[in-house]
Structure 1
Amino acid sequence: MNHTMKAVAFSSHGGPEVLQLVEAELPQAGTGQVRVHIKAAGVQPFDYAVRSGWNPPGITIRFPQVIGNEFAGVVDQVGEGVTGFSVGSEVLGWALLACYAEYVVVSTDQIVTKPQEMPWEVAGVMSASGQTAHTALQELGVGEGDTVLIHAAAGGVGTFAVQLARAWGATVIGTASAGNHEYLRSLGAIPVSYGDDLVERVRVLAPDGVDAALDAAGKDALYASVALVNDKDRIGTLVAFELAEQLGVRLIRSQRSAARLTELVDLYTQGKLHIHIRKTFPLQQTADAHREVETGHGRGKVVLMVD
């Protein structure tokens, strides 16, 4: 068997052009772990932030550094003590800074079974944005009868958040550029444009007030949220952490678990979660995939097809 695999890594921080297709050591599954032959891997803002020079808390970047945090694929090696998965099992899951590659080794508490009817490209983008949205709405206590404002609602996290909030019985107002308003309506949200007078436009749409707000856009969205939501404990941001501390609102970091991912997969199977795949790229065109995600205001998810 070949002892190397193809992976995408960078050896210096910079633009998309620093991403290189490299030969990396083929990982081996240890006790309680499986190795997965990756079919699809999602591309997120997190990935290009790390590539550009951001250092996630508690993570050491070592060059050449592989990136990518979510994947779907087929188990091809099973370590000792593993139950519930075997060679040939189709799975989806997550692993930090490891998924832009042909293979990944993970512990079995980081994967769940992929439903037969779920396409690979969809399975490859469920774990990161989906779990972030789920964590955020849970922390904000979103549920039946709430009116929730979701910023950047047509983006990766936003599309999950809109649909989860709707599934949990909330009314959703989503900010997006005009070109994405029809798409947001199709997900069950009331669309509203970004920009000046956002607060006034939302007040017209929600005369009884807004109960909670989730920000995936940054500064202006957070100020608008504070103006609209009375309880600061029900305002959360995924991006503007320094400003959040000044304003006294929640900083939300994804809490990933197999149970959370299973819940998302179940909603998908029930037809309550639709994932829009904006574009797919082969592994050797990862730099182009990053350019696509960095344009912002895009709809849905971008995915690398590894096989």
Structure 2
Amino acid sequence: MKALVYSDFGGNDRFELTDREEPHAGPDTLVVRVVAAGINPVDYKIREGYLRGLIDTRLPVVPGWDVAGIVEKTGLDTPEFAVGDAVLAYARADIVENGSVAEFMPVPVRTATLKPEGLSFEDAAALPLAGLTALQTLERAGVGAGQTVLIHGAAGGVGSFGVQLARRLGARVVGTASERNHAYLRDLGAEPVVYGEGLVPAAREIAPDGFDVIIDFVGGSTLDSTPDLLADGGVVASIADARARTEFGGHYVWVRPNASQLGELAELVSAGELRVEIAATYPLDEAAAAYAALEEGHTRGKIVVTV
């Protein structure tokens, strides 16, 4: 099978499109013929070697955890699925080796859910990691009706879902983004503010008493403004900065595969109640260029590789 592979840690130049042996179906594993693969920043952070010591890898590696495709083979104990089923998954295995940017992928059955008919393969591939990250972060922070929530990185892949899901929960949402994405955020139901210099007074003008919840989908220096913006008794949650927990007593969230939650998100998208923003699609033979575009860090929504 064709697959995007890197055999050593480092930059984008480590990628090569090569032939690789097709995966087999373990007892609780599906082999999925990939139709579309979603790519995420964690993929290139692993490739760069930044997460060594946290995530085990076995070189050479095919990147990608987000997959949508057709079940090609079933394992010995996978009664939930049959050959020919259309599925999607946040297919994170314990060891990074056989990812989704390939013609076939081994998918742990615990991570997979059936794809609704009304959901395209491209949208399905863009949904798993980002959608689950947004959902689980909001749940951990206890976001609910009547709260005023600040979401950092609101126009990104995770943030776009976070805005919509927080609005569905009945929260008032303010989102940080560059000015070019403000109309997009308004369309999602958020009140936009520009990040960086001027954020604190602009956000305080919107929420004079501070924010009940601050969600960080960016990292870096994003949480520096938290003491000036968090309401008394407010909650902080981050997917990228442990200070959310160590300094502010909140939550540091690492997304977990959850087939049930993913199925619920997929149904929302299929019903038109949750929007998937796809910035660009690339064919498999241009997958390295897809990662190069992602690494520029200015993507609105998701990038998908079609196989």
TM range (shorter): over 0.9
So what's the TM-score if we normalise by structure 2? 0.93
Determine the structure 2 residue equivalent to 1:11. 7
The structural deviation recorded for 1:290 is 1.1
Q: How has the CA–CA distance of structure 1 residues 41 and 56 changed in structure 2, closer, same or farther, with 3 Å as cutoff?
A: farther
Give distance in 1, aligned partners of 2:227 and 2:287. 37
Give distance in 1, aligned partners of 2:31 and 2:272. 30
Whether the 8 Å CA contact 1:232–1:250 is kept in 2: the answer is: no
Instruction: Pick from 35, 38, 54 the counterpart of residue 34 of structure 2.
Output: 38
Whether the 8 Å CA contact 1:219–1:243 is kept in 2: the answer is: no
Whether the 8 Å CA contact 2:91–2:257 is kept in 1: the answer is: no
Q: How does 1:258-297 map to 2 (within 5 A)?
A: 258-297=259-298
Determine the structure 1 residue equivalent to 2:112. 111
Give distance in 2, aligned partners of 1:232 and 1:153. 23
Give distance in 2, aligned partners of 1:12 and 1:107. 25
Matched letter for residue 69 of structure 2: G
User: Which stretch has the larger CA shift, 268-277 or 147-156?
Assistant: 268-277
State percent identity of aligned pairs: 40
- Deviating beyond 3 angstroms after TM superposition, the runs of 4 or more aligned structure 1 residues are 230-233, 246-249
Q: How does 1:89-128 map to 2 (within 5 A)?
A: 89-96=85-92, 97=96, 98-128=99-129
Matched letter for residue 277 of structure 1: I
The structural deviation recorded for 1:220 is 2.9
Instruction: Pick from 52, 57, 60 the counterpart of residue 56 of structure 2.
Output: 60
Q: How has the CA–CA distance of structure 1 residues 241 and 305 changed in structure 2, closer, same or farther, with 3 Å as cutoff?
A: same
So what's the TM-score if we normalise by structure 1? 0.93
Name stretches of at least 5 consecutive residues in structure 2 with no aligned partner: none
Q: How does 1:219-230 map to 2 (within 5 A)?
A: 219-230=220-231
Whether the 8 Å CA contact 1:172–1:188 is kept in 2: the answer is: yes
Determine the structure 1 residue equivalent to 2:20. 24
Give distance in 2, aligned partners of 1:114 and 1:46. 24
Give distance in 2, aligned partners of 1:231 and 1:206. 13
The structural deviation recorded for 1:232 is 7.0
The structural deviation recorded for 1:137 is 0.3
Give distance in 2, aligned partners of 1:128 and 1:194. 24
Task: State the Cα deviation string for residues 96-134 of structure 1 (Å, max 9, x = none).
Answer: 341111111223221111111211111111110110111
Whether the 8 Å CA contact 1:42–1:71 is kept in 2: the answer is: yes
Q: How has the CA–CA distance of structure 1 residues 49 and 242 changed in structure 2, closer, same or farther, with 3 Å as cutoff?
A: farther
Whether the 8 Å CA contact 2:10–2:49 is kept in 1: the answer is: yes
Give distance in 1, aligned partners of 2:27 and 2:39. 29
